[in-house]
Amino acid sequence: MEIAVKNIKGEDTGRTINLADDIYGIEPNDHAIYLDVKQYLANQRQGTHKSKERSEVAGSTKKIKRQKGTGTARAGSIKSPVFRGGGRVFGPRPRDYSFKLNKKLKKLARVSALAYKAKEENITVLENFDFEAAKTKSYIQLLQSLTLHDHSSLLVLGDSNPNVYLSARNLKNAQVTTADKLNTYDILKAKYLIISENALGKIEEILQRKTSAK
């Protein structure tokens, strides 16, 4: 699959680059994507939620009324969940929401997400660039040149670039990442994918690398 390479002004450079068919041309696996996104979101949860049960709330343990003859249900403690201020029944406790996925499945999910972007023709390849200083205005001009300023976008760089990252940090619909940190959730969250030339090779190297069996 051939795609034109553009510069930061949105102009064609006259060069084209081939996208690997075993990454961008496969039939996407929806279930793999679902599992990978589910794991990503689960890993974001802190799991620090906690409510007090009847043994943990403050209050007297004295029996609040006699057992029989009141015409109402028996009650042994003011900390009972049926009373206001009492403990909660089966309340949430701190827990770890993360779960394991096989490396091959996570790799398939990322490849599937990239294949969807390629099918939708929502991938732009950008020649390598840098900003002289960290300016939000510079990144806005870049998006305007590519006519992507009205859409959510994800820029994938080959290596970490502080000036580019800081320039995009304050923009709501713009995100910058590197090839080694690319994940399924970020790919799908963005409407358009912008990939720098040096990132393409690294993405292919990572996704085409054979996973060693343990």
- The string of pLDDT tens digits covering residues 136-193 is 999 999 999 999 989 999 999 999 999 999 999 999 999 999 999 999 999 999 999 9
Average confidence (pLDDT) over 70-75: 92
* Cβ atoms 53, 40 nearer than 8 A: no
Task: Find the domain containing 86 and state its range.
Answer: 51-91
Tell me if 134 is assigned to some domain: yes
The answer to whether residues 125 and 55 belong to one domain is no
Give the global pTM: 0.82
* Residues 89-95: contacts with CB under 8 Å, at least 24 apart: 89/53, 90/53, 91/50, 91/51, 91/52, 91/53, 92/49, 92/50, 92/51, 93/49, 93/50, 94/47, 94/48, 94/49, 94/50, 95/47
CB 46 within 8 A of CB 137: no
Q: In terms of domains, do 108 and 75 share one?
A: no
214 within a domain of the structure (yes/no): no
Q: Last residue of some domain: 37, 68, 91? A: 91
* Tokens linked to 18: 């081939």
